[in-house]
Structure formats: structure tokens, C-alpha cells
Amino acid sequence: MFYLIDGYNLAMDSGLSRTLSGPGNPERARSRLLMWLAGRLDDAERARTTVVFDAKRHSVDKADSIEFGMRVLFAVDYPDADSMIEALIAKHSAPKFLTVVSSDQRLLTAALRRRALAVRSADWFEQIDNRPRLESPTPDSDEKLPIGEREKLISEFDTAEIQRLIDDENRIGP
């Protein structure tokens, strides 16, 4: 399963952050959310997780990157994170393997339209938070390096692993 997460939405709905207003609050919200995810998702899940954050409303001085093995994208070229997430949902080649985490009805509808799993942020947080806490990985210096080419990063969202998952499901059957 691939996870596509509306970052600030999950941070706020989960209570990991109370506000995005004020100096440093968006960065703290991002950091808390990514640390929480790193402590709850295993290595394989983190490798299939993309977290998208707004960039226009909250000053962002970071480039798209890999943190704790998760793709972290900033909606710099989009009006907001929702628009970028919609584009990623539309582009995904195997949406039945995609879980979209957001409380934004627009994104939940877009996910359901593509037959992806749509989960409200608070519900997903509760489900994942009930898992035993894993030892949080420490970010390697390689993981913090910017990815660079935005199109390459977005295109990697549809990896060869999707095809492997499809092949595995076809072998197993419904």
C-alpha cells in the first residue's frame, strides 16, 4: 500500500500541532509529524509514503527531500498542497494500492473517484497511533539531501514496485 498524506492536515487533525501561525510553527508541525510517522511506520511503509505540505501560505526554505525514508514534497508550483495531491492521485498508475490521508473532502472525493482508499486524517492517526511504537530511525545525511528534479520525484511515485504489487495480486487472485 502506498500512502499519500496531506501533511499539515494530518498534523493539525492529530493534535501534533495546534497552529501553523507564527514564526517556526510550520517547521515544528512538519518535524513533529515526520518524527511521529517514522516511529509508527516500518521501513517498507515509509519507503511507500509521500507527505505533501503547502508552500505558499507557509514560508518554506526546504527543497523536496527524503526524510526517514519518506518522500517529502512542497507544493511550490501549485496553489496549495491539495492541488498537488490531486495531481498525484490522477497520475497514480495503480490507485487501488493508494491510501489518501486527508480530511479535505475534495481530496477524499478525488481518491474515491480513482478507486483509491480515502481515509480521514483523524481516523488514520488513531489507527496508526495504536500500533506499538517502533524505534525511530535517525535520519542519515543521505536522506536529508534534496532530491532535486521535481518531475523525477513525482514520477517515482509510480515506481516499478507498483507493477510488482499488481503482478503479485494477479497471481494470488481476488
Entry field: residues in the chain:
174
Question: pLDDT tens digits, residue range 82-119?
Answer: 999 999 999 998 899 999 999 999 999 999 999 999 99
What is the Cα–Cα distance from 27 to 121, expressed in whole angstroms? 19
- The predicted pLDDT at position 151 comes to 43
Residues 6 or more apart whose CB falls under 8 angstroms from that of 162 comprise 2, 92, 93, 94, 97
Q: What pLDDT is stored for residue 162 in this prediction?
A: 56
Prediction pTM value = 0.77
3-state secondary structure of 67: strand
Measure the CA–CA gap between 129 and 10, rounded to whole angstroms.
Answer: 12
Lowest mean pLDDT among 64-78, 87-101, 142-156: 142-156
SS3 128: helix
For residue range 6-65, list pLDDT tens digits in order. Answer: 999 999 899 887 766 665 678 888 889 999 999 999 999 999 999 999 886 555 566 788
Contact between 125 and 138 under an 8 Å Cβ cutoff? The reply is no
Contact 65, 144 (CB under 8 A): yes
d(C-alpha 15, C-alpha 139), whole Å: 24
Residues 6+ positions from 18 with CB-CB distance below 8 Å:
12
**Residues 112-129: what's their mean pLDDT?**
95
H or E segment and range at residue 14: helix 7-14
pLDDT of residue 146: 46
